[in-house]
């Protein structure tokens, strides 16, 4: 097998098919070394592992992303009475129906569990307390000041 051929193609050690090298995830960016299983086989392996033990996957994700365990997540949720730490809704919203871990993007410190709406709101203002205070003042002033124009009724 020529060097050029081996740079362009690889044989998957899982399914045995010869595929373009780009069909294998890169293992080491410095050397360009790739995984021995193709992307398709790798995805099947990860999916099967997740389906076999979804709690293990959730625990690993929480550790990797936020430095907390699934037990710590569940304890936080219990301490928050299964509610959002901000608005106290019991409906987390979102695609997966789970409360989201709120954390400081600067320090990495976990602050609490939020519903989708509160998490997005904090993210949109960049956790900026000054902006949030100005928004509160704006809403308070709008409630107490007569408005010349009113929005048409929707619906």
- Identify the pLDDT of residue 152: 67
Two tokens, residue 144: 């107490």
Residue 66 confidence (pLDDT): 95
Q: What was the pLDDT predicted at 7?
A: 74
Q: How high is the pLDDT of residue 99?
A: 97
Q: Over the stretch 65-102, which tens digit does the pLDDT of each residue have? A: 999 999 999 999 999 999 999 999 999 999 999 999 99
- In this prediction, residue 81 carries a pLDDT of 97
Predicted local confidence at residue 93, as pLDDT: 96
- Domain span at residue 112 reads 53-144
Q: How many domains does the chain have?
A: 2
CATH number at residue 82: 3.40.1800.10
Structure tokens at 27: 């293992």
118 and 137 part of one domain: yes
Within a domain: 154: no
Is 13 part of a structural domain of the chain? yes
Cβ(35)–Cβ(27) under 8 Å? yes
26: Cβ–Cβ under 8 A, 6 or more apart, which residues? Answer: 32, 33, 34, 35
Torsion of CA 6, 7, 8, 14, to 10 degrees: 60
DSSP state of 24: S
Residue 153 lies in a domain: no
pLDDT of residue 142: 85
- 66 and 117 in one domain? yes
Question: Is the same domain home to 98 and 40?
Answer: no
Has residue 1 been placed in a domain? no
Residue 106 confidence (pLDDT): 87
Q: At what angle do helices 54-66 and 39-52 cross, to 10 degrees?
A: 110
Q: Looking at residue 32, what is its pLDDT? A: 87
**pLDDT at residue 105 in the model:** 85
Which stretches of the chain drop beneath a pLDDT of 50?
Answer: 1
Tell whether 28 and 103 lie within a shared domain. Answer: no
Q: Which residues contact 114 (CB under 8 A, 6 or more apart)?
A: 84, 85, 86, 99, 100, 102, 122
Please tell me whether the overall predicted TM-score, pTM, comes out greater than 0.75 for this model.
Answer: no
Q: How far apart are CA 19 and CA 119, in angstroms?
A: 42
């Amino acid at each position: 097998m020529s060097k050029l051929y081996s740079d362009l193609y690889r044989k998957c050690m899982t399914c045995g098919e010869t595929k373009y090298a780009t069909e294998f995830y890169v293992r080491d960016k410095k050397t360009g070394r790739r995984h021995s299983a193709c992307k398709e086989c790798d995805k099947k392996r990860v999916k099967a592992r997740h389906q076999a033990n979804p709690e293990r996957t959730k625990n690993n994700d929480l550790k990797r992303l936020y430095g907390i365990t699934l037990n710590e997540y569940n304890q936080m949720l219990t301490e928050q009475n299964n509610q959002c730490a901000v608005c106290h809704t019991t409906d987390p919203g979102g695609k997966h129906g789970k409360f989201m871990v709120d954390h400081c993007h600067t320090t990495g410190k976990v602050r609490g569990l939020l519903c989708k709406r509160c998490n997005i709101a904090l993210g949109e203002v960049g956790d900026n307390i000054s902006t949030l205070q100005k928004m509160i003042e704006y809403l308070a002033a709008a409630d107490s000041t007569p408005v010349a124009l009113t929005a048409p009724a929707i619906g």
